[in-house]
Amino acid sequence: MPFHFLSRPPQSPHPRLVALVITLALAPSLGHAGEIKLRGLVQADTRSFMNDAAKNDGFLWRRLEPSIEGNWGTWLGFRVNPQFAGDRVTLNEAYIDLKFDPRATVRIGKSKPPFGLERLQSSTSTAQVELGLPSELAPGRDIGVQLQGSVLGGALDYGIGAFNGTVDGRDAVAGNPDGEFEYAGRLFWQPRKHARGEWGNLGLGVAATVGNTHGNGSNVLPRYRTPGQAQFFGYGSNVAADGQRLRKTVQGYWYRGPLGLLGEWVSSAQTLRVISGAGAGSRATLDNHAWQIAAGWVLTGEDAGYRGVVAPASPFAIGQPGWGALEATVRYGQLQMDAAAFPYFANGATSAQAAHGWGVALNWYLTGNLKLMANYTMTKFDGGAAAGGRRPQERVLFTRAQLTF
């Protein structure tokens, strides 16, 4: 199967981004007492589709992310994280933290809202190359302010905030397209966090977002994608958001030695209206929902965790006996559309009614900074083709080389 490079023309960083990075880098020399760290993430992927219908085989830079983070004194922190792997330079995250107390930190800027379990996980730590189907319903990074912290001796983490609002599964755009705001809150409980034993790494959480949305287009209405990043559902161009959007999730994980389990259920309900064409004037609140369960086992015996295998017991080194850590993972999940979406809000000939997907992966942690991944996923669909037929299933083989520093 032929591969081609997904090449992109070079782009110049935004002048204000460059100025901000330079300012932060020079801050200590300007008399501010603090600490600055330069970090980086590089992820080089391949995608090979097992069916001839897909034409997205190729190599790509999935992430090229330098970041500058640090502290001024004990109460002020910051992070700036641009992304160079797209068609243009974008800003993943840029925020400041007011660290009044471990129980109360105020974060201002662009960051991850307190909601999805897998979306809150670092992109360096995910068990498979791409996120599962429930993350398509969870909000990505957003611009706003949030209060977060840990209470009850660190057993209960909380977050609550106000944001511009962003569509399911995507990061926010630079502005606020509809002028509305969204509010998010999350509680995550680790009842035996500081205890040894089989329940020491158990975590359970709930979260929700709520806000009004109005208008149409990709900055307001979601489009759901497969692990292979192919769109399989989208609302019609004659459909507009016209009221409340409410998301809910129940989530949890459990890690015991080399074993890891993670589960998540997400619901996204949005009020929509057909503004023209067939069904014009129809208005409904459509509730889409998704779930997944994932399991992993570290074959070399190291501890599994939400952050992945932090460091192999015997790092790989040429001419030395160490071979690193090896982890096998498996997951299954599905995303179900509200049946009332068809036929007026979405076209059943191009948008699927549901997606069901599973995946297996083998992750090789050569060192604490170098990770290689091989991942196979298969996604099946209900509907999504002409005359009520099924959209062809997606079968993809991913590989990834990941370097952090």
Give the amino acid at 228. Answer: G
Contact predicate 403/366, CB 8 Å: no
Secondary structure (3-state) at 24: helix
Q: 137 near 290, Cβ under 8 Å?
A: yes
| Inter-CA distances, 35 with 28, 30, 70, 73, Å | 8, 13, 5, 8
Q: What is the pTM of this model?
A: 0.89
Whole-angstrom distance, CA of residue 22 vs CA of residue 15: 11
The CA distance from 308 to 131, in Å, is 14
Q: How many CB atoms lie within 10 A of CB 24?
A: 18
First to last CA, the chain: 34
Q: Which residues contact 5 (CB under 8 A, 6 or more apart)?
A: 58, 59, 60
Strand, helix or coil for residue 21: helix
Q: What is the distance between the alpha carbons of residues 310 and 312, in angstroms, rounded to a whole number? A: 7
The share of the chain scoring above pLDDT 70, in percent, equals 91
**Residue 358, strand partner residues:** 332, 378
Nearest to 50 by CA among 392, 288, 327: 392
Instruction: Write out pLDDT tens, residues 150-206.
Output: 999 999 999 999 999 999 999 998 889 889 999 999 999 999 887 777 787 999 999
Q: For the chain, what are the domain ranges?
A: 102-404
Domain 102-404 maps to which CATH number in 3.40.50.1360, 2.40.160.10, 3.30.70.100, 2.60.40.1240? Answer: 2.40.160.10
Contacts of 402 (CB under 8 A, 6+ apart): 41, 42, 43, 44, 124, 370, 371, 372, 373
- CB burial string 292-313: b at 16+ within 10 A, e below: bebbbebebebbbebebbeebe
> 314 near 323, Cβ under 8 Å?
yes
Residue 209 · residue 321 · CB < 8 Å = no
Overall residue count recorded for the chain in this entry? 405
Residue-wise pLDDT for 80-108, tens only, equals 999 999 888 999 999 999 999 999 999 99
> What mean pLDDT value characterizes the chain?
91
Angle, CA of 355, 348 and 356, to the nearest 5°: 5
pLDDT tens-place string over residues 104-137: 999 999 999 999 999 999 999 999 999 999 999 9
